Structure 1
Amino acid sequence: MNLRLTPNTMPVAVRPSLLGGQASSPLGGAQSGGFSGALKSALNTVSAAQNDATRLQREVQLENPQVSLEETMVAIQKAQIGFQATLHVRNRMVQAYTDIMNMQV
Structure 2
Amino acid sequence: MNVNGLQAEMQAMGLEAQNTSRPATGQQVSADFGALFNDAVKSVNQLQSQSSDLSTRFDQGDHSVSLSDVMIARNKSSVAFEATVQVRNKMVEAYKQLMNMPV
TM-score surpassing 0.5?
Answer: yes
Distance in 1, matches of 2:69 and 2:32, equals: 34
Choose from 61, 75, 78 the match for 1:77. Answer: 75
Q: TM-score, normalised by structure 2?
A: 0.69
Larger Rg: 2
Cα deviation, 1:6-33, whole Å, max 9, x if unaligned, reads xxxxxxxxxxxxxxxxxxxxxxxxx9x5
What is the CA-CA distance between 1:68 and the residue it aligns to? 1.0
Letter of the 1:99 partner, please give it: Q
Structure 1 stretches lacking a partner, 5+ long: 1-30
Q: TM-score, normalised by structure 1?
A: 0.67
Cα deviation, 1:84-105, whole Å, max 9, x if unaligned, reads 0000000000000100111100
**Match of residue 61 from structure 1:** 59
Distance in 2, matches of 1:95 and 1:36, equals: 18
1:79-98 superposed matches below 5 A = 79-98=77-96
Distance in 2, matches of 1:101 and 1:63, equals: 53
1:1-105 superposed matches below 5 A = 34-105=32-103
What is the CA-CA distance between 1:34 and the residue it aligns to? 1.0
Cα deviation, 1:32-78, whole Å, max 9, x if unaligned, reads x5111110111000000000000101111111111111111110000
Letter of the 1:45 partner, please give it: S
Letter of the 1:59 partner, please give it: R
Which has the larger share of helix? 2
**Match of residue 18 from structure 1:** none
Distance in 2, matches of 1:63 and 1:81, equals: 26
Distance in 2, matches of 1:57 and 1:102, equals: 45
Moved over 3 A (4+): none
Distance in 2, matches of 1:63 and 1:84, equals: 30
